[in-house]
Amino acid sequence: MKFTIKEIRFKDYKSFKGDYISLKPEKFTLLIGRNNCGKSSIIDVFESITSPSFFHKHRCSILIDINGQKVRNEPFSGYKEYIGDKTYRIEPMNNTFRCNLLEGNYQTSIIDAEPHISNFLQQISFRRLNADRDIIPEGYNSDYHLDENGNGACNLINQILTKEQLPEKLIQKNLLEALNRIMCPDSKFDGITVQKTAESDNWEVYLYEGDERYALSKMGSGLKTIILVLLNLIIIPKVEKYDDEKMCFFAFEELENNLHPALQRRLFDYLFQYGKDHLNVYIFLTTHSHIAINTFANKPDTQILHVKKENGISTMDTIDSFISKTHVLEDLDVRASDLFQSNGIIWIEGPSDRIYIKRWLEIWGDKELIEGSDYQFLYYGGRLLSHYTIEGIEDLINILSTNRNAVIVIDSDKRSKQGHINDTKKRIKKEFEEKGMLCWITKGKEIENYLPFSAINSAYSSKLNANCTQYELFPEYIDDVCKHFTNKKVEFAKKVAPYISDNDASNILGVKEMIIALTRRIKKWNSRDTS
């Protein structure tokens, strides 16, 4: 029988008093709150689900909802139809679990299920890295342990590099490649080794940069943090021979300590990709860092939990609305620009432009880019463009005060090849280009001139046989298909956009090239592309 944890509820643990607190495991969980508010206590709960005696000792309660699924040769032959895919509630009782099957409004005890479900919980792997951590020289020890504060790290590396039971490539290749993936371009390490120190029988880890070598214990704490994270993620699962079915929880506390924002971003990006690549891995982060929040906010399978403590009582809220985000800002005593701000703005004339650009980004951009986090749209509303600048011109609104990263998309409004772009648009284009920023003035009269007739036909069952020409008035072009188009631009865009495809739209007035250029800009805003 296979099991998965559906929900954990707990109460009366440390400062969490009164009602049950509900926790649903997600791929990524960020715990945000002031020091001493109870973030680590939530980590304790997840860490201790394999040890019911923990909750008996602390006189607290925990309920674990577990989904069970039948598999071939499953041990409950007498309960096949009875167990099936039902949900089990496990309640720790002293040093054992009491198992109940939720069945309507009553509970039926299934004694035979207890050892199997207890075994499932005890087989869960939980790895933790405390906020207070270090890597120091250590004496030889035959164990492969790695403590929550970093003790054992040097010995673990020593064991793998010097004992034949494990391949040294785990350190010299796997660990080193991951380390360089996070550290580059700030540093690049070419080798890693261990040697006994001159003044004692302890062993020291050395990292090579070219021909120079450096003792790890004397290097920065940020580098040590990254190595400890990688030892937990890459080395321990190999040493302890985790299989792909094993449920693994990783809890990392305040990784941002002593890490430059750029390194934080690369480390958090690595964690996100690691979680995506491993089906049964769940990652918890306690953090005060806006970099972590920006990395994981709006990502799939992610929850952000705000832990608060008032009058000695801790509570927890899920961050899922504008108001809850505002409360986090107030609690962490930061400015609104420090958290939950998109990394760049695409300025557009109106909402229909957003619909088309999002569709083109799906086709030719990067599907990993997320609106609201990696970029956001803002509307300047046609003639209002004359009131904007990026040069700090007096009496005009500075676009860069909203966000220092910006792209602007402008309809040319040209009616012919000889037509002129007005002075406001010329000024904006000049200002953007002088700052090395992207100003996209449409080749056609307006953005709708990029639309393929095939997409319109698919959406409206119409019989157009040619695209709108470069300078043609789109409302006149579409009049037989969509009357009063000017008043229906958003409705029209929502209907047509899903039918736009690469084959039909890629050669229209260079729109594909502009979207590729836009994608590069967004990636640079988010440090995903430095080219």
Whole-Å CA distances, 522 to 92, 144, 330, 482:
50, 43, 29, 34
**What is the predicted pLDDT for the residue at 72?**
34
> How is residue 212 written in tokens?
């120079």
Give the number of other Cβ atoms within 10 Å of residue 82's Cβ. 13
**What is the predicted pLDDT for the residue at 461?**
94
Query: Could you tell me the residue ranges of all domains in the chain?
Result: 2-124+255-334, 133-239, 345-525
* Sequence-ordered alpha helix ranges (H) in 286-334: 290-296, 322-332
**What is the predicted pLDDT for the residue at 526?**
81
Q: In whole angstroms, what separates CA 366 from the centre of its chain?
A: 15
Look at residue 523 and give its three-state secondary structure. helix
Greatest alpha-carbon span in the chain: 89
State the average pLDDT over residues 75-94.
Answer: 43
Closest alpha carbon to 3 in 243, 246, 276: 246
**154 with 203: CB under 8 angstroms?**
yes
**What is the predicted pLDDT for the residue at 336?**
42
pLDDT digits (tens, 9 = 90+) for 438-495: 999 999 999 999 999 999 999 999 999 999 999 999 999 999 999 889 889 999 999 9
pTM above 0.85?
no
In this predicted structure, the answer to whether residue 530 has a pLDDT above a threshold of 60 is no
Strand 87-93 relative to strand 376-379, pairing: unpaired
Q: Which residues pair with 313 in a beta bridge?
A: 310
Name the phi and psi angles at 78, rounded to 5.
Answer: -80, -5
**What is the predicted pLDDT for the residue at 173?**
95
State the average pLDDT over residues 16-24.
Answer: 85
Confidence of residue 380 (pLDDT cuts 50, 70, 90): confident
State the average pLDDT over residues 100-113.
Answer: 53
Q: What's the CATH number for 2-124+255-334?
A: 3.40.50.300
> How is residue 331 written in tokens?
């609690």
* Sequence-ordered alpha helix ranges (H) in 398-471: 423-434, 453-460
